[in-house]
Amino acid sequence: MSTSLSMDALFLARLQFAFTISFHIVFPALTIGLASYLAVLEALWLRTHRRVFLDLFHFWEKVFAVAFGMGVVSGLVMAYQFGTNWSGFSTFAGGVTGPLLTYEVLTAFFLEAGFLGVMLFGMQRVGPGLHFVATVMVAMGTLISATWILASNSWMQTPQGHAIIDGRIVPVDWLQVIFNPSFPYRLVHMVLAAYLATALLVVASAAWHLLRGRDHEGIRTMLAMGIGMLVLVAPLQAFVGDLHGLNTAQHQPAKLAALEGHWENRPGEAVPLILFGLPDMEAEQTRYAVEIPNLGSVLLTHSWDGQFPGLKEFPKADRPNSLVVFWSFRLMVGLGFLMIFMAAWGAWLFRGRRIYQARRYLRFALAMGPAGVVAMLAGWVTTEVGRQPWVVYGVMRTADAVSAHSAAQVGFTLTVFIVVYAFVFGAGTVYLLRIIARGPEVQESEPQGGAGRMRQPMRPLSGAPDRFDEPAAGAQEGVPHGH
Amino acid sequence: MGIDLPLIWAVIILFGVMMYVVMDGFDLGIGLLYPFVPAKADRDVMMNTVAPVWDGNETWLVLGGAGLFVAFPIAYAAILSAFYLPLIFMLVGLIFRGVAFEFRFKAPPARQPFWDRSFTGGSYTATFFQGVTLGAFLEGVPMRDGQAVAGSFSWLAPFPLFVGLGLIAAYALLGATWLVMKTESDLQQRMRELGLTLTWVLLLVIGVISIWTPLSQPAVAHKWFSWPNLLYFSPVPLLVLVSAALLRRSLARRGHDAVPFLLTLGLVFLGYSGLGISLWPHVIPPSVTIWQAAGPPQSLGFTLVGALLIVPMILGYTAWSYWVFRGKVRGDEGYH
């Protein structure tokens, strides 16, 4: 373990990790939500045979495919980053994190990738039942993937079930490792966040079309399903978030103190809730604090004047940066409350079907489109920065985890990633928005098995609608595909 | 423990990387062959032959990395740190190649040529730097106190660069013979002709690497040319020559569309086994063996249970997916 590294290389390696993981997590979050949504849409189509569900399935499938492609390539970078930039961590903690990541590959990545082809390209080649199985498998894959990666991250936050032998972590009890204290809360919190982010995207897409005067059954169904999801999940997420906060209070007191901007307890005095302020690490206080008396005690100890540790109770070297997590946490919670408000307002507008003309609400919903993604990123910043200065909480410091690269080398690769990501994912986002802007094709999908010849829209789908279904140059007419 | 866990894991990783080389090899090969096929309709067909399966193919690379992480964490950290730059370049190549599958069909027509170039350039970059990493790995990773001590540019040497070019030839041949199997008429004929040329190129590459490696590394030479190893390993070069001859014959004749691809698989497998023999039993050549680099047995055992149960299932549904998309790909078959 070399602590002689310059802070620059460490800082750049952390920045590189933060940058690549932030870009990456957006896509899995959307694919977790969209895969489940697609499975629901296909199930509804199979049950009711209402065309609108198939149209919506094909529409969101295109969005899913682009998001999934970007998730795959950015995820590949993550799989190798632990070794390239964090060799100290890999050598020391690989005994626990390696198997968890490998199980993710074995049980999730292959499942998603293996059935994705059939889901995207196979509707004409397999029966409806098998196609539905493929869609469900893809959705299962996304959820299993979340489970393993959250198990690994949760173990880094609240490690247990291991021993340290010859300077390396050795797993002793896998059940303890996987079902560590924070795992259930984090997993549920993240999956709900993915569902919220997706629902907000679906509602915002519908709102955009309604505002543009495109009002048909597909758009209305999207809006209703999206708001229905928000009504279910937004309040639930607040409840789960509260439980997760109590769990953090129990297992990571320094993180909690930092995100509350709470420095010290005076004997017998309750802890206020600081709404806003500027935590100052040097001065060891939160400046300009706007506080509500006793609320901190009530929320976190469930008693009128209970106390929880302040930052001053931890050595300076063990304190996470309060300024960052104080604000990232408030951003997340604030957006969460806005989502609950949006769900309630939307549910109320659904009475009497006024919602489709409620322009003010639709504009609000459109503005809230990215809120789920932003809140999720803010949440990850809170939990990861709040874990510092540890990479494995209380066991290994981040400074000991980094590879011995020069700052120049890490800086160079970081620059490469920033340029490549900005360009590639910028283009990808534009294409995503363009697909969404075109909206679901009404009666886009032919029922299975056309007369004599399977008809299916060709790529490119971005072409004008009238380009669909024209045979390509040199295509063989009238040849049914073998089954 | 009676079971030799590191040995079993070494075999699993070798198998995973082998699967990767073969499967992502022909996907990447499609991108490598794009410059030889200018027509848009042909390019659409080429891409559609792998569009449903490429993602699963690439996943074997992630399994190889994850397996190395579990079984040999020291090697994972050492190798990935030592070959930092070529691996990052490989990843950047894979990013441009991977998104092109979706973006090419989603972009407005004016932007399509750009994503064609992204597909081609990404495929060349990824393949070349994979080869460079492999070549540098064969040359060895000097270690001191459990840390790799390689300069940032140690891979910038003749041998790694040559292996990089060699891998381009191998993947291009895999791509060409895959297309012989999956396409028809003019495009197929073009691939047969390209395949004939590429077979010579690949033979040359295998020959040069086979001579270069033992000349520059006495330990490898000793392994190959000492008795009785010489007897055991002598079938490898002979089989290479026989496969290459059969491959050229099957490419030159009509019919048997799947035979060239299968023979190319054989060739790649033989070359791969040759590399494996040269390295065995080192996971960080020339000094660290698989037993020295192995992670804790609790980690290897726990993951092995899953691997033995799940890998057969993966092979099963992957094969099913290939079965669903069997047969020739035509111009009128597209996305959905």
Per-domain residue ranges for chain B?
Answer: 5-324
**Chain A residue numbers touching B306 (CB-CB < 8 A):** 102-103, 106-107
Distance from the A475 Cα atom to the nearest Cα atom in chain B, whole angstroms: 5
Distance from the B84 Cα atom to the nearest Cα atom in chain A, whole angstroms: 6
The three-state secondary structure class of A285 is: strand
Which of B204 and B286 is assigned the larger pLDDT? Answer: B204
Q: Which is nearest to B128 in space by CA: B172, B168, B186, B157? A: B168
Q: Which is nearest to B60 in space by CA: B28, B83, B99, B89? A: B28
Q: Which two tokens stand for residue B167?
A: 């891998």
Strand (E) or helix (H) holding B148: strand B147-148
Q: Which residues pair with A171 in a beta bridge?
A: A162
Cβ <8 Å between A428 and B81: no
Cβ <8 Å between B299 and A171: yes
Distance of CA B65 to the CA centre of its chain: 14
Whether residue A298 contacts residue A338, with contact meaning beta carbons closer than 8 Å, is answered with no
Q: How far apart are CA A198 and CA B141, in angstroms?
A: 46
**Chain B residue numbers touching A101 (CB-CB < 8 A):** 66, 69-70
Q: How far is CA A471 from CA A430, A458, A478, B52, B142, in A?
A: 28, 8, 11, 21, 58
Distance from the B34 Cα atom to the nearest Cα atom in chain A, whole angstroms: 18
Q: Which is nearest to A145 in space by CA: B59, B67, B93? A: B59
Cβ <8 Å between A102 and B307: yes
Cβ <8 Å between A420 and B107: no
Cβ <8 Å between B336 and A124: yes
Instruction: Tell me what pLDDT residue A3 has.
Output: 45
Comparing A205-214, A290-299, B9-18, B169-178, the range with the smallest average pLDDT is A290-299
Strand (E) or helix (H) holding A371: helix A371-385
Distance from the A409 Cα atom to the nearest Cα atom in chain B, whole angstroms: 8
Q: How far apart are CA B79 and CA B284, in angstroms?
A: 7
Q: How far is CA B136 from CA A392, B139, B150, B197, in A?
A: 33, 5, 10, 27
Q: How far is CA A241 from CA A227, A329, B66, in A?
A: 20, 11, 32
Contacts 24+ apart (CB under 8 A), B287-291: B287/B140, B287/B143, B288/B74, B288/B75, B288/B78, B288/B143, B290/B6, B290/B7, B290/B9, B290/B10, B290/B71, B290/B72, B291/B6
**pLDDT averaged over chain A?**
85
Cβ <8 Å between A106 and B306: yes
Q: How far apart are CA B90 and CA B109, in angstroms?
A: 28
B72-111 pLDDT tens trace: 888 888 888 888 889 989 999 999 998 998 888 888 888 8
What is the band of B236 on the pLDDT scale with cuts at 50, 70, 90? confident
What is the pTM for the complete model shown? 0.87
Average pLDDT of span A387-391:
91
**pLDDT averaged over chain B?**
85
A30-61 pLDDT tens trace: 999 999 999 999 999 999 989 999 999 999 99
Cβ <8 Å between B332 and A102: no
**Chain A residue numbers touching B67 (CB-CB < 8 A):** 102
DSSP state of A107: I
